[in-house]
Chains A and B, each alone.
Chain A
Amino acid sequence: MSSLPITREQILRVAELSRIALTEEEIEQYARELTHFVDMLSVLDTIDKDGVPPTVTLTFDPIAQRDDKLEPSLPRDEALAMGPVTSDGGFAVPKILGGEG
């Protein structure tokens, strides 16, 4: 049981969208591993799914909704401690040219 292998082009495309630079070895490694993932999922192809709506979420519980009530936020020091670089009370990232996304 084997689906189509993940190609080098697909890996490069996803890497580009994710802003990740990959070495030749990594490209091969990811192509191999992701092909393996897809293979594992292809077991679903063997099941009769006619008339079964896609299940996207298992969150049916209304607890996932909340009233518009304030809850405590993190102390700033605690939040900023998680950032590798901080400056001026904020998370510092490499300088962005141009505008927002």
Chain B
Amino acid sequence: MTRYEPVIGLEVHAQLLTETKLFCGCSVAYGAEPNTQLCPTCLGLPGSVPRLNRRAVELAIRVGLALGCEIHRDTAFSRKHYFYPDLASNYQNSQFEPPVIGRGELCIEVDGVERRIGITRAHLEEDAAKNIHGAGGGLYTVVDYNRGGQPLLEIVSEPDLRSAEEAELYLRKLREILIFAGVNDGNLEEGSFRCDANVSIRPVGQEKFGTRVELKNINSFRFVRRAIEFEIARQEAVLASGGALVQETRTWNENVGQTISMREKESAQDYRYFESPELPRIEIDDEMIERARAQLPELPDAIRARFIEELGLTPYDAGVLTSHPGIARYFDAVASGMKADAKLGKRIANFIQSEVLRDTQIAGLDAKFPVTPEALIELLSMVEARTINLNLAKQVFHEMVASGKSAAAIVEEKGLGGGVDEAALEAEVLKVIEKNPSQVEQYRGGKAAVFGFFVGQVMRATRGQADPQLVQALLRKHLDG
């Protein structure tokens, strides 16, 4: 039986984080009432003049730098012609050859092995309007042009991916880079990050690609994976039964768990690209590139490496603390505020992961933390100064979240901290040893478990305020000595 190898390439449409559309000053805010964000330009009315949004070009250059891509200095917009109600002017302002961003690559890790996936190109284009099916009493399709004209960057990969898992990893990685670069909010549900997949299979060892199917409109990572897995199996089954594949567009239907044919690719499809006569060429000089480089934030791979090397995190911790740019900035703010080394860095990371993140709310690019980095620095500094121990710090933290008060105010109010210096603690330790002669005998007789009893007694006597490590050291000094 023939064994097949999947060949997958991905096209991602990422909405660029501008305030306004690509060629006019209409808002791009999501969720507005239909058809309230439009003007003669984005409606394609005769006589309107498109004016290019500079910011979109800047963000595109930033993506090019983030992905290590070539940046073409002199490119243009071209009209891509097709007739569909989502396109007000019957052409889309897009880019043909050359696109603003050329070749680059993106590294993913598959089962611990690094794979380099080629980026073919990325080009600027305007988004199409949104068709609302089933509206108008089901008699019509209703078109909302709010989305029409929003700036998109279409990022096209080489057909380098070999499994649904690799496709998902590539998408997650790309999304993460775009989010950290500050160019896209990565919201698959709202459609600001959309993916189409080109899937074909070929006998293992064959160089020529098989017949390609385009999977459209897949709006979650889970669906991407399932749609591609389904499609690979479907294509294998067709070939195994002696059938032939047709080049077509299919969509993922989650309800039936299958890809469904939308239309067969018209072999005669012809977009009749030609360069826009009304838009200026995009000319990019060194200064624009250097400015974009200066604005490019630190990317997640570099942040993780720094967290691991300089701040003592495990790869797992580094992953958690870079799961959102806001979390990474928060940890960074606390760590740098406390001038953390590797040991302290790890302790801060532990506290953030076990306490802070439990009460953190993430919504898109926003992260809402229960306390500010400054408030957390104050609290953790008290732990470092041994004013309070870690268990008390956790209680104080919850009090801070509940009351909004500062750590210092809570510690003072409750009479915590500051009370147990080493001499006082040693006195407590001696007192506990004196009061419990039989346990001392047991311990010295080899019953090591009794040690915990002494720790508990001392902690109780100090109302939980003593530093447990110091308690243990003092107990060992007097019990073992």
Give the size range of A's interface with the partner: 35 or more
B residues 34-75 near A (Cβ < 8 Å) are 34-40, 43, 45, 49-56
Does A96 sit at the interface, judged by CB under 8 A?
yes
A79/B43 in contact, CB under 8 A:
yes
Q: Which residue of B lies closest to A61 (CB)?
A: B280
A96 to B142 CA separation, bound complex (whole angstroms): 9
Assuming the contacts A94-B141, A99-B249, asked whether A67 and B55 have C-beta atoms less than 8 A apart, the reply is yes
**Is A87's CB under 8 angstroms from B20's CB?**
no
| Contact A80–B275 (Cβ < 8 Å) | no
Partner of B20, one of A56, A69, A96: A69
- Quick check: A73 and B38 within 8 Å, CB to CB? yes
Q: Are B142 and A92 in contact (CB under 8 A)?
A: yes
Complex formed: what's the CA distance from A94 to B280 in Å?
Answer: 35
Partner among B24, B43, B270, B278 whose Cβ is within 8 Å of the Cβ of A71: B24
Cβ contact within 8 Å between B51 and A64: yes
Interface hits, B246-278 → A, CB 8 Å? 249, 251, 262-263, 268, 270, 272, 274-278
Contact with B along A70-101 (1 / 0, CB 8 A): 11111010011010010111111111101111
Asked if B54 contacts A65 (CB within 8 A), the reply is yes
B19 within 8 A of A: yes
Name which residue of chain A comes closest to B274, CB basis: A56
CA distance A79 to B18 in the complex (A): 23
Within 8 A of A (CB), among B135-154: 135-145
Tell me which residues across on chain A come within 8 A of B209, comparing CB atoms: none
Q: How far is B279's CA from A71's CA once the two chains are assembled, in angstroms?
A: 19
List the one stretch of B79-87, B182-190, B426-434, B441-449 in contact with chain A. B79-87
| Residue among A18, A62, A71, A89 making CB contact with B39, cutoff 8 Å | A71
Q: Please indicate the chain A residues that have their CB under 8 angstroms from the CB of B128 in the complex.
A: 100-101
A67 cross-chain contacts in B, Cβ below 8 A: 53-55
The answer on a CB contact under 8 Å between A19 and B35 is no
**B24→A88 contact, CB < 8 A:** no
Which B209-251 residues sit within 8 Å CB-CB of chain A?
216-217, 249, 251
With a cutoff of 8 Å between Cβ atoms, the chain A residues found around residue B274 in the complex are 56
Interface centre among A68, A69, A72, A93 (most CB of B within 10 A): A68
Smallest beta-carbon distance B37→chain A, Å: 5
Known contacts A57-B281, A70-B27, A76 near B35 by CB under 8 Å: yes
Expressed in whole angstroms, the Cα–Cα distance for A72 and B41 within the complex equals 12
- B26 x A73 contact (CB < 8 A): yes
The distance in angstroms between the C-alpha atoms of A58 and B83, with both chains bound, is 27
Instruction: Let me know if A76 and B33 touch, CB within 8 A.
Output: yes
- Which chain B residues in 364-419 approach chain A with CB under 8 Å? none
Q: Smallest CB-CB separation from B23: which chain A residue?
A: A66
Residues of B within 8 A of A101 (CB): 82, 84, 86-87, 128
B362 at the interface (CB under 8 A from A): no
Number of residues from B at the complex interface, CB < 8 A: 65
Q: Are B85 and A68 in contact (CB under 8 A)?
A: no
Does the CB pair B140–A95 fall under 8 Å? yes
Known: A17-B81, A87-B137, A91-B143. A65 touches B51 (CB 8 A): yes
In the complex, whether B305 has a CB less than 8 A from a CB of chain A is no
Given the complex of chains A and B, what is the CA–CA distance between A41 and B431 in angstroms? 108
Interface bits A31-58 vs B (CB < 8 Å: 1, else 0)? 0000000000000000000000000111
- Cβ–Cβ < 8 Å partners of A98 in chain B: 262-263
Would you call B311 an interface residue if the criterion is a C-beta within 8 Å of the partner chain's C-beta atoms?
Answer: no
**How far, in Å, is A19 (CB) from chain B's closest CB?**
5
Interchain CB contact (< 8 A) of A70 among B20, B139, B249, B251: B20
Q: How far is the CA of A82 from the CA of B56 in the complex (A)?
A: 29
Judge if A23 is at the interface, Cβ distance under 8 Å.
no
Query: Given A66-B54, A101-B86, A71–B280 Cβ distance below 8 Å?
Result: no
B34: contacting residue among A68, A89, A95, A99, CB under 8 A:
A89
**B424 is an interface residue with CB less than 8 A from chain A:** no
Residues of A within 8 A of B249 (CB): 99
B34 and A88 form a contact (CB under 8 A): yes
Is A70 in contact with B140, judged by CB distance below 8 angstroms?
no
Q: Does B98 contact A (CB under 8 A)?
A: no
Q: Can you offer 21 A-B residue contacts whose CB atoms are under 8 A? A: A56-B276, A57-B278, A58-B277, A64-B279, A65-B54, A69-B19, A71-B20, A76-B33, A79-B35, A79-B145, A82-B45, A87-B140, A88-B132, A89-B34, A89-B35, A90-B136, A91-B85, A93-B143, A95-B139, A98-B262, A101-B87
